[in-house]
A and B are shown apart, each in its own frame.
Chain A
Amino acid sequence: MMLRLAPVLIVLLLVAPILAGLGMVLLPAFGYLPALGRESLTLAPWQALFAEPGIWRSVTISLASGLLATAISLAVVLLYLAAATGSRLDRWIRRLVSPLLSIPHAAAAFGLAFLISPSGLVARLASPGLTGWERPPDLLIVHDPWGLSLIAGLVIKEIPFLLLMSLAALPQLDPERRIAMARSLGYRPTLAWWKVVAPSLYPLIRLPVYAVIAYASSVVDVAMILGPTLPPTLAVSILTWFSDPDLDKRFLASAGAILQLGVTAAALAIWWGLERAAKRLMGLWIERGERHRGETCLHLAGKLWILLATVIAFVGIAGLAIHSVAGFWRFPEALPESFTAAHWARVLPSLAGPVASTALIALCATLLAMALALAALEHEQRSRRPPSRALWLLYLPLIVPQVAFLFGLVVVMEQLGMRPTHALVAFGHLLFVLPYVFLSLSEAYRRFDPRWSRLALTLGASRNGAFWRIRLPMLLAPILTALAVGLAVSIGQYLPTQLLGAGRITTVTTEAVSLAAGGNRHVIGVWALVQACLPLAGFIIAIGLPRLLWSRRRGMQGAP
C-alpha cells in the first residue's frame, strides 16, 4: 500500500510547496501584502520593476548566459562522447569528470575566479616572465559585463552533470553496434557517432538539459561570484531586492521573481525552437551522406574541450588549496611568500557544528529521497506499467527557479507555524535532492533485467524478499551513486538552507557564502575546500564500498 502511495506522495511533496511558494510571491507582485498594510491589487510593482536601471540588460544576460552555458556544455559533452574510443585518455577523463559533479557550484566558481582574475594564478604564473606585468593588468575578466566568466563557471559545472546523464542513457542505444554498422557503410567513427547515435541520444537527455537551462538562467551563487555587476543578473537583483532594508522593495522583488519565472520559461521556449532547427539541420547533414569530412576536427575537439574544462576546474580547486595555507602573496609571485596553518587553525574549532548540521541534513534528505524514489520505482516495476505520467512533475523543482518560490515558501512555513529546524531545512532540501536521486537511479532501476526478480519469485521468495535480497544488493552500486549525488546536491544548497533555516541552521555552504562576503581569500579557500571535500567523501564511499563488498564477486564488478 505504501508503494502505491509513493508516486502520489512524491508529487504532493514537490508540487505543493512550489505552488504555495509561487502563490505567496504572486500576491505581493500585484501589491497585496497585508503585513505592510497593502491590501489592494495594483500594477505599481511592475512599473517599478521596469523602471529599475538596467533591468533589460539583467534579463538579457540571464537569458543569454542560461542558453549559452547549456549549449556549450552540451556541445562539449557530445563532442567528447563522439570522439571517445575507450582509450586510456578517455577513461582517464571520465574518471576525472565524475568527482567534479560533487564539487558545489560555489566552490568551483571561487576556484575559477582565483584562477582567471587579473591577479589570479594564471597571470601570476605568466608574469612577469611572459607578460612583463609587475602589477596585475587592469582587465575586466571576472564579473565581465557580458557574463562570459559566469558562462565559463557554469559550463565547468554542467559538463560533468550532462556527461553522467548521457553515460547513464547510452547503453540502451547500443552505440557500439550502431557505429559498427555505420562504419561498415564507410563512415569514419566520430562522424558515425554524430549521425547514428547523437540523434537518438538527445531525446533521452532532454530533461536534464532543460534542468540545466533553468538552473543556468536563474543561478544565484555562481552569478554573485563570477557574474556581471552593473547590473547583475536578474536572479541576483531579485535577491538584493528581497533583502533590501527598504521593505517596499519586496513588491519589486516579488514582481522580479515572477519575471524570472518568465525569463526561464522564455529560455526553455527558445531552446525548444533551437532544438527543432538543429534537428532539421542534422537531418540534412545526415542525408547528405558525408563520410569523412570533419572527422579529424571533430575528433580533436572532442578531447580538447573537455580536457580543458576539467583541467581548469582542478587547477581552480588546487588554487583554493594554496590560498588556504598561504601567507601574504604579492603579485606577481607564483607562490606565496610563506605558508601558514593559521587559517585552518582559526577555522577548525568552528568547523564541527556546521559539518555536523550539513551531514545530518544531507543524510536525512537523501535517505528520505532514496526511500521515496525506490518506493516509486518498485511500484512501477510491480505494476508492470510504463512510468506514470505524473512523475514528470518530479522535475518541477529543477525547472522552476529557486528565487521564484523560496521566499514565498518561507512565508507559507511561517503561517503553518513551522519552526526553523533541521527537519524543515531537510524537507526544503528534499525538493531538490529527490529529483536528482530519481534522475540518477531510474535508468539503472528500469534497465535492471526483470528476469532476476522473476527468478526469485519462482524460487518462492516474496515480492518484498525479492526486493531486499536480490534487487537492492544487485543495484547497490547505482543506489550508492544516487545517494552520493543526493548528498552533493544537499550539501551545495545555499538559498533553501538560509531561508528555511532562518539563518540559524549553519551548514558548510551557508558558512562559506557568508564568509565570502568578507572577501578574505584564505578563509574562502578553507571553507570552499571543506565544502568540496564533504560530497567528495560521499562519492569515494559510493565507488569504494561496492568494490570492497563485492571484492570476491566478479560478476558484481562494473555491473550492472
Chain B
Amino acid sequence: MNATHRLELRDICLQLGDQVLVELDAEIAPGEVLTVMGPSGSGKSTLLAYLAGFLAPAFQARGRVMLDGRDISGLPAERRGIGLLFQDPLLFPHLSVGGNLRFGMPGASADKAARVEQALANIGLAGFGARDPATLSGGQKARVALMRLLLSAPCAVLLDEPFSRLDTHLRHEMRRLVFDRLREAGLPSLLVTHDAEDAEDAGGRVIELSH
C-alpha cells in the first residue's frame, strides 16, 4: 500500500462539437489531492469520465493522461489502474459486505479472507463480513466503499463529490478518513466538487472551472 504513484494530465482539452468544456494541464504528486471546483454544467463529470475511461463517444478529447510516466489515455477503463469513489457508496446489493471488499481485490492472494477481516477492523467494522450491505448505516456504507477502493490497489484515485450525500456531522469525519487514507497510501487523487469545504479539507491545490 505504500508504493508511490504520480498522475500527470497533459494539455487536456475536452470538446462537445465546437464547444470547449474543459482545458486542464496539471500534475498530481503521490499522496496529493488536487481539487477541481466548478458549478454544475462546468464539465467536471465529463473530465472524470474521460480520466476513468468512460467518455461517451459524442465528446472529443485531446491531450494525454500519464500514470507513472506511462500514457494510459488509450487504455480501457479496467486496465488504467484508476479507482473511483462516487457520490453514493454503491455497495453491490447482491454481495455481502465481505463480498464487496473481495470483489476489487486483485488475483488469487491466499490471505484474502484475513486481509478482508483486517480491513474491516481497520474501519471499525470488525465481524461485519457476512452482513447484508443494506443493513449498514450511511457512514458505515461510505467506509466500506472507501475500503473496497483501497483494497483494489489502484495507482490513482478520482473522487466524484463523495461527501455530498452524507449528513453534515458525518461529512467532516469521512473527509478526514478518506484524505488520510489516500495520503497514507501515497495515491495521487483528483477531487471534483462544488463544495468549498471539501477543497479546504483536501488541503491541496484547487483549480476552478468556469463555463
Contact = CB atoms under 8 A, between A and B. Distances in A.
Contacts of B106: 460
A195 B196 CA distance: 43
A559 interface: yes
A330 interface: no
A451 B88 CA distance: 10
A460 B76 CA distance: 11
A459 B104 contact: yes
B134 A459 contact: no
A553 B78 contact: no
A461 B135 CA distance: 25
Contacts of A458: 52, 77-78, 80, 82-84, 152, 154
B27 to A, nearest CB: 21
A555 B132 CA distance: 8
A454 B54 contact: yes
B211 interface: no
Interface of A is mostly: helix
B133 A454 contact: no
Interface string A455-466: 111111111001
Given A384-B57, A454-B54, A469-B103, A554 B78 contact: no
Nearest to A461: B78
B7 to A, nearest CB: 14
A500 B180 CA distance: 69
Nearest to A470: B92
Contact of B92 (A383, A460, A474): A474
A468 interface: no
Interface string B44-61: 000000001110110000
A459 B106 CA distance: 9
Residue from the set A450, A451, A458, A552 with the largest chain B CB neighbour count within 10 Å:
A458
B6 interface: no
Contacts of A272: none
A534 B205 CA distance: 65
A383 B93 CA distance: 26
Nearest to B49: A454
B149 interface: yes
A224 interface: no
A463 B132 contact: no
B90 interface: yes
A452 to B, nearest CB: 7
B87 to A, nearest CB: 9
Contacts of A384: 54, 56-57
Contacts, number: 76
Contacts of A461: 78, 103-104
A499 interface: no
A383 B57 CA distance: 8
Contacts of A473: 94
A556 B95 CA distance: 10
B5 interface: no
Contacts of B88: 451
A459 B94 contact: no
Contacts of B93: 474, 553-556, 559
A556 B83 CA distance: 25
Nearest to B53: A457
Interface in A430-471: 450-452, 454-463, 466, 469-470
A268 B145 CA distance: 52
B84 A454 contact: yes
B110 to A, nearest CB: 18
Interface string A540-560: 000000000010111110010
B128 interface: no
A476 B153 CA distance: 29
Interface size class of A (residues with CB under 8 A): 20 to 34
Most chain B beta carbons < 10 A, residue from A385, A461, A476, A553: A553
Contacts of A383: 57
Identify which of B57, B104, B148, B153 gathers the most chain A CB atoms within 10 Å of its CB: B104
Contact of B78 (A462, A555, A556): A462
Interface string B113-153: 00000000000000000001111000000000000110011
A459 B132 contact: no
A469 B133 CA distance: 17
Nearest to A463: B78
Interface string A463-499: 1001001100110100000000000000000000000
B83 A459 contact: yes
Interface in A503-560: 550, 552-556, 559
B77 to A, nearest CB: 4
B90 A455 contact: yes
B94 A454 contact: no
Contacts of B92: 452, 470, 474
Contacts of A460: 78, 104, 106, 152-153
Contacts of B103: 456, 459, 461, 469
A281 to B, nearest CB: 38
A553 B134 contact: yes
B179 interface: no
B135 A554 contact: yes
A473 B82 CA distance: 25
Given A384-B56, A458-B82, A553 B154 contact: no
A463 B76 contact: yes
B132 A552 contact: yes
Nearest to A450: B54
Contacts of A385: 57
Contact of A451 (B83, B90, B134): B90
B32 to A, nearest CB: 20
Nearest to A382: B76
A556 B149 CA distance: 22
Contacts of A457: 53, 76-78
B149 A459 contact: yes
Closest 6 CB pairs of A and B: A555-B93, A459-B104, A554-B134, A555-B134, A457-B77, A458-B84
15 contacts: A450-B54, A451-B86, A451-B88, A455-B84, A458-B80, A458-B82, A458-B83, A458-B84, A458-B154, A460-B153, A461-B78, A463-B78, A552-B132, A555-B132, A559-B93
Given A458-B84, A553-B132, 13 more contacts: A383-B57, A451-B88, A452-B90, A454-B77, A454-B84, A456-B103, A459-B83, A459-B104, A461-B103, A462-B78, A469-B103, A470-B92, A556-B93
